[in-house]
């Protein structure tokens, strides 16, 4: 029922619109124009000051023509770097970039599928409950857009977020929460050749702290990683300050809190041992969520997959998405696979079949 050629052309157009994180305005304006044509109500929020973006989140509503519970569809408009000047190439039914940029299927595959499904519903006059959609900014840089949504504008209490790798039919029912950990160790400067014993090396202290930490894969649900360690001094100076940026994730809130405490304790213990001070900033980026396999909405989505000839596969994720923030605000949200693979790399690819199946699934959920 969807128009396959139009869907493909829409996706190809969308990925050529530059929209690296915080610079999504051109993309947002194009989506808004496409949806106004079919009679959707469009709204941009005033989240720019919070997100640092050049546009707000985009909201779309297609008023109900039949009884039923409202449903929300979500996808993000931004891409990771390098995402400027994308040139899509099709070979053997698969879409690639020219090789010097990402493709942008993350998440323009989700955007294009939602837009095509809405077009089909409107053009064919298919009966449907109220359909809402939000297209968010700055998802790739800390879920900033969905954190700043005007949640009182969203009436739907169930949502699908089209933003996962894996074939159409993949249903993410669990995802971790995350902490951002920023630490500064403050030691004491001294001349490294004349009086090193008068100094406290912040680098040495931080190294001891990191060596004591459990990192990377902690258990099936929990991970932790240090992304940056920084200190720049001449070799004849005992360094007085060293900084670390890290994260911890877990699908268990208790395990997440325990891992963060462990990392903080390692830092404090090393500082106490060497006589340094610790400046520690712990920030909860987003919370975990989990939906049972027999949850009614999970079953609805899985059954809809079967109805359109797609095999449902329930899965847990190790990464966050806008669904984390939606769930935290009382909206039951699932993340669906769109077929994108090798995301965040210049080898990213997307099969045309998955693009079509994702749009068909979105359409079926809109009219279920």
- Annotated catalytic residue 303: no
Residues 6+ apart with CB under 8 A from 20: 78, 79, 80, 81, 83, 84
3-state secondary structure of 15: helix
Residue in 139, 349, 356, 357 annotated catalytic? 139
So what's the pLDDT on residue 368?
A: 74
**How many C-beta neighbours within 10 Å does residue 64 have?**
14
For the chain, strand residue ranges (E) read 41-44, 58-62, 71-76, 89-91, 94-96, 131-136, 158-165, 170-175, 177-186, 190-191, 216-219, 222-230, 237-238, 241-250, 277-286, 289-290, 313-316, 332-340, 349-351
CA distances to 19, 61, 94 from 82, rounded to whole Å, are 10, 32, 20
Q: What is the pTM of this model?
A: 0.92
Tell me the C-alpha distance between 272 and 24, whole Å: 46
Q: In sequence order, what are the beta bridge partners of 158?
A: 332
- Using only C-alpha atoms, the chain has a radius of gyration, in whole angstroms, of 23
Structure tokens at 223: 């991970």
**How many C-beta neighbours within 10 Å does residue 59 have?**
22
Is residue 226 within 8 Å of 215, Cβ to Cβ?
yes
Q: Could you tell me the residue ranges of all domains in the chain?
A: 4-175+288-366, 177-286
Same fold, 4-175+288-366 and 177-286: no
Q: pLDDT of the chain along its 368 residues, tens only? A: 899 999 999 999 999 999 999 999 999 999 999 999 999 999 999 999 999 999 999 999 999 999 999 999 999 999 999 999 999 999 999 999 999 999 999 999 999 999 999 999 999 999 999 999 999 999 999 999 999 999 999 999 999 999 999 999 999 999 999 999 999 999 999 999 999 999 999 999 999 999 999 999 999 999 999 999 999 999 999 999 999 999 999 999 999 999 999 999 999 999 999 999 999 999 999 999 999 999 999 999 999 999 999 999 999 999 999 999 999 999 999 999 999 999 999 999 999 999 999 999 999 999 97
For domain 4-175+288-366, say whether CATH 3.40.630.10 is its number: yes
Q: In sequence order, what are the beta bridge partners of 260?
A: none
- Annotated catalytic residue 139: yes
Domain spanning 177-286, CATH architecture: 2-Layer Sandwich (3.30)
DSSP string, 191-212: ETTT-GGG-B-HHHHHHHHHHT
With 0-12 / 13-18 / 19 or more C-beta atoms within 10 angstroms meaning exposed / middle / buried, residue 186 is: middle
Residue in 24, 78, 106, 116 annotated catalytic? 78
């Amino acid at each position: 029922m969807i128009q396959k050629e139009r869907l493909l052309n829409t996706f190809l157009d969308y990925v050529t619109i530059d929209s690296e994180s915080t610079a999504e305005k051109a993309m947002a304006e194009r989506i808004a124009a496409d949806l106004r044509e079919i009679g959707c109500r469009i709204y941009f929020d005033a989240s720019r000051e919070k997100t640092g973006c050049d546009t707000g989140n985009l909201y779309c509503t297609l008023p109900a023509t039949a009884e039923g519970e409202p449903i929300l569809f979500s996808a993000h408009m931004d891409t990771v770097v390098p995402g400027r000047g994308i040139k899509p190439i099709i070979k053997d039914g698969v879409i690639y970039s020219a090789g010097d940029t990402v493709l942008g299927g993350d998440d323009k595959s989700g955007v294009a599928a939602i837009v095509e499904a809405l077009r089909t519903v409107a053009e064919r006059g298919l009966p449907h409950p109220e359909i809402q959609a939000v297209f968010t900014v700055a998802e790739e840089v800390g879920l900033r857009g969905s954190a700043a949504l005007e949640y009182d504008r969203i009436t739907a209490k169930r949502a699908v977020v089209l933003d996962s790798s894996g074939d159409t039919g993949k249903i993410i029912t669990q995802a971790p929460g995350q902490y951002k950990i920023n630490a500064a160790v403050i030691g004491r400067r001294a001349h490294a050749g004349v009086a090193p014993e008068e100094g406290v090396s912040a680098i040495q202290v931080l190294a001891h702290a990191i060596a004591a930490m459990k990192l990377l894969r902690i258990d099936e649900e929990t991970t932790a990683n240090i992304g940056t360690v920084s200190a720049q001094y001449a070799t004849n100076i005992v360094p007085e300050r060293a900084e670390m940026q890290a994260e911890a994730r877990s699908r268990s809130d208790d395990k997440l809190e325990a891992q963060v405490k462990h990392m903080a304790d390692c830092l404090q213990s090393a500082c106490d041992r060497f006589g340094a001070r610790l400046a520690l900033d712990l920030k909860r980026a987003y919370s975990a969520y989990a939906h049972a396999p027999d949850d009614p909405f999970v079953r609805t989505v899985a059954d809809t997959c079967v109805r359109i000839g797609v095999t449902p596969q329930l899965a847990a994720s190790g990464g966050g998405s806008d669904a984390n923030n939606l769930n935290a605000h009382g909206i039951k949200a699932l993340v669906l696979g769109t077929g994108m693979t090798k995301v965040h790399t210049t080898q990213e690819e997307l099969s045309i079949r998955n693009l079509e199946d994702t749009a068909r699934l979105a359409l079926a959920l809109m009219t279920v």
